[in-house]
Structure 1
């Protein structure tokens, strides 16, 4: 991974928590951090005057204060600041073309409102060219760190794989790289559609037809083989279950320290869409969520 870790920053607790998470990740990956603030896209609840000068001054203060906090935590971190006048969504999407990852804050569990508000936030997440991570304001493991005993009950990198084969490679690369970096295991989740309950025995027991399940497990194992070989120190657990993909992923993510889901790239900036699995993860999972674009 190359390019800076770009953080959308507005001074709210959510965005500051995202900056802390991004700083630790950037330090561990030996990447610089870029703090980005759009003075024309500020939270509606920020008690500042509406004059342009006041808004610019507020933005500059937010950037300077956060930079100082990050350097106090990680003295060897490289941090840059950028105050822009273009809409935040435009600035973030432009930076995503050369960033290593993009990090946004989310105000609370069950909400995707953040540095960007509502549909704007989803618009950015649906169009970024690099992996994008959302971090909640109440994220408890930002302070704890990956190896801290207080975070022992959330120690996995969970990755949802909807299609085995080449389409899964960007997700698996991000998940395995992150897991190796932090000494964490990877849980690879594959949902079998309810239509897998095809035989009378399957309908009675609630388990997928054994032949179909064996075939899917074999395909998943084949997909994971090169990643196991490339990352021999990473423990891998394949999790296969019947049900809607979003439901299966949520159920399997109880120990997730980071959950990785995929998002298909879109050819035009005016076309964006997040699938049901990404929506469910963003709205319901308490841990940071990584959306990784793929073809």
Structure 2
């Protein structure tokens, strides 16, 4: 099948922001954009009391309006639409099986509380074996333009931030992050957070910090050689990894985290770092599954 960028669309401002971001990403990757609406009958949050025919017309309009608008913004982009029935958390991962990524919207709860992913979004992320990008609804026109309005003159891309675990490195996560930086022509910031027990004295802490810095440099060296055009900034911090990633992503275009694939039937498995970043990063978050 043809590779594409797939986005879940339900008519909400969050899903429209996700579609705008996905359209820009599809243009960067030079692949088609697929807009998908999953109808979970008998009710949805948008049309709680609608019958099947009304729901069908509403879904048609949501998909058509989005396709027309995004087509105007990205004239050369191939856009297709699909309507499905079933549970979104089950249907979207299957629909995205041949995609390069799945893009979803998430709702803001405020600067302190963070962002609401919701049970459907969390289940979708945990069930999808392709990268999933979570996009926030913009608060203002400036942010909306930066996250992918498709206008003729786009502002320069901001940094891509990737969380790196030097003890358990993952090629899929780093490969995804470097690819995104190449496409955007932007800086890649590789961030590693670490902590020591309180019993450590200052001198050993400095020595360990130097070893960690060297470990990060050694880990990234092959990737620097593979992607010589990417400017890489290495950052190590004495701080919990999730906290530092959220802080580092405040002015980023995209933050990339990993999620270990665990095919358990009873519950979702999303690591604590990815979970925290998903709920608190203001930038779009790419969750990259790996073995």
TM-score, normalised relative to structure 2: 0.88
1:233 counterpart = 2:229? yes
Taking the aligned partners of 2:10 and 2:273, their CA distance within structure 1 comes to 28
Give 1:69-88 correspondences, 5 Å limit: 69-88=69-88
- Return the match for 2:240 from 218, 238, 244: 244
Mapping of 1:47-58 within 5 angstroms?
A: 47=47, 49-58=49-58
Measured after TM superposition, the shift of residue 198 of structure 1 is 5.0
Partner Cα distance (1:263, 1:16) in 2 = 25
Cα distance in 1, alignment partners of residues 7 and 181 from structure 2: 22
Aligned partner (choices 172, 176, 179) of residue 178 of structure 2? 176
Q: Give the structure-1-normalised TM-score.
A: 0.87
Contact 2:88 2:124 in 1 (8 A): no
Q: Please list, as runs of the form range in 1=range in 2, the aligned pairs for 1:1-295 lying within 5 A after superposition.
A: 3-40=3-40, 44-47=44-47, 49-109=49-109, 110-113=114-117, 118-138=118-138, 140-144=142-146, 155-164=158-167, 167-195=169-197, 198-201=199-202, 209-268=205-264, 270-295=266-291
Q: SS of the residue aligned with 1:31?
A: coil
1:138 is displaced (CA, Å) by 1.6
- Does the CA contact (< 8 Å) of 1:14 and 1:135 recur in 2? yes
Distance 2:19 2:42 in 1: 16
Question: How big is each residue's C-alpha offset from its partner over 1:45-98, in whole Å with a ceiling of 9 and x where there is no partner?
Answer: 424642111112211111111111111111111111110112111111112322
Counterpart-to-counterpart distance in 2, 1:161 and 1:250: 13
How far does residue 8 in structure 1 lie from its aligned partner after superposition?
0.4
> How far apart are 1:26 and its partner, in Å?
0.2
Aligned pairs, number: 282
Distance in 2 between residues matched to 1:266 and 1:120, nearest whole Å: 18
RMSD: 2.5
Q: Any unmatched runs of 5+ in structure 2?
A: none
Which region of structure 1 is more displaced relative to structure 2, 35-44 or 258-267?
35-44
Contact 1:164–1:223 (CA<8 Å) still a contact in 2? no
Q: What does the per-residue CA deviation read over 1:162-182, in whole Å, with 9 as the maximum and x for residues that have no partner?
A: 2446x4211111111111111
CA distance in 2, matches of 1:151, 1:71: 20
